[in-house]
Structure 1
Amino acid sequence: MAKLQPDLYVRSIYDIDLNMLKKRSISCLIMDIDNTLTPWNSSEISDKLWNWVQKAHGDGFKICLLSNNGQKRVKELSAKLGVAYIYNAAKPRRRSYQKALDIMDTTYEHAAVIGDQLLTDILGGKRMGMFTILVDPIDEREFIGTKVMRWIEGVLFRRHPFKKEETRS
């Protein structure tokens, strides 16, 4: 179960303390898209997200989007944000995480994985030995496969991210 325990839990990417990551010698961020950065299946970039990415870049962070989505949408989002990307990632397979490290010319010790799913994002990052950050999903709308994974997360870990009355630390 340790492979499914994130190193850090925050409500959203906007709650991530970038200075804390820098103190941990983390300079690269591998980020999920759907329900981590944007609502599911959306190609819209909010001003808040744009500003956060620009701040991260200004603070010296490299960013690579890592998504199980197809190329068209992932490429479009990466172009809008000015970041690297990997599509059809087959998370939580190690190969795509290693490719992200290679693209950013770094090692696992200097990278953090940020995502909203334990069984893909967090598991993949943990399998590579990276620092992992779990966020709550942005929206309840999701791909049917993700809904199944969330149900499994709920059964195994009592994680129900859409029950807003629940508080975790």
Structure 2
Amino acid sequence: MSVMWKRFYPALRIKYLTDLKPDDFHARGVKGVLLDLDNTLVEWGQVEVSPKTLAWVEEMKKSGLKMCIVSNALEERVKVVGKKLGIPWVSQGIKPRKTPYRKALALLETTPGETATVGDQLFTDVWGGNRMALFTVWMTPLSTKELFFTRIARRLERFVAKQLRKKGIISE
């Protein structure tokens, strides 16, 4: 596989956000975790946070991890979820650009080497995190409901995932 594909390699692949435990981060020296909003923390277009996700965020915070939402979504919805979770946020991020990640790192006062990012999309979350040399975690989307353009990107994402599986980079 060419070097071009490496930008899409997640450091870790998970099914559910709640599969991650504080030790998964602490063992890697991670002090801050950046979280995507849509289909990672909440279903696409929603603001309701599940009790499991609320409990997970609290567990992470109690373990000493700093957390921040980094989303391409509009400010108002990101703000609502951020306030519910008691964590800062960066909205309208235009991921995979570096700017939203830099803003989040400044909010958390962490360096790229001590920060992870978790999201459901290879072409925004994983690629953006890899551009910043973050520990990248790619998860299965919470829902199949999403923007039209995201549905198109998912087709290409499936192709890339197939290539990553062939190379043994991811297992599922």
For residues 104 and 21 of structure 1, what CA distance do their matches in structure 2 show?
15
| Percent identical residues | 33
For residues 22 and 148 of structure 2, what CA distance do their matches in structure 1 show?
33
1:17 to partner: Cα distance: 2.8
Q: Which residue pairs with 1:113 in the alignment?
A: 117
For residues 158 and 55 of structure 2, what CA distance do their matches in structure 1 show?
33
Segment of structure 1 superposing worse, 69-78 or 142-151: 142-151
Q: Which residue pairs with 1:70 in the alignment?
A: 74
Q: Partner letter of residue 95 of structure 1?
A: T
Q: Report the count of equivalent residues.
A: 162
1:151 to partner: Cα distance: 1.2
Q: Which residue pairs with 2:167 in the alignment?
A: none
Q: Which residue pairs with 2:171 in the alignment?
A: 168
Q: Partner letter of residue 21 of structure 1?
A: F
TM-score where L is the length of structure 1: 0.92
TM-score where L is the length of structure 2: 0.90
1:154 to partner: Cα distance: 1.9
Alignment of 1:77-96 (within 5 A): 77-96=81-100
Q: Partner letter of residue 38 of structure 1?
A: V
Q: Which residue pairs with 1:164 in the alignment?
A: none
- 3-state DSSP of counterpart to 1:53: helix
1:157 to partner: Cα distance: 3.2
RMSD: 1.4
Gaps of 5+ in 1: 160-166
Gaps of 5+ in 2: 164-169
Q: Which residue pairs with 2:166 in the alignment?
A: none
1:65 to partner: Cα distance: 0.2
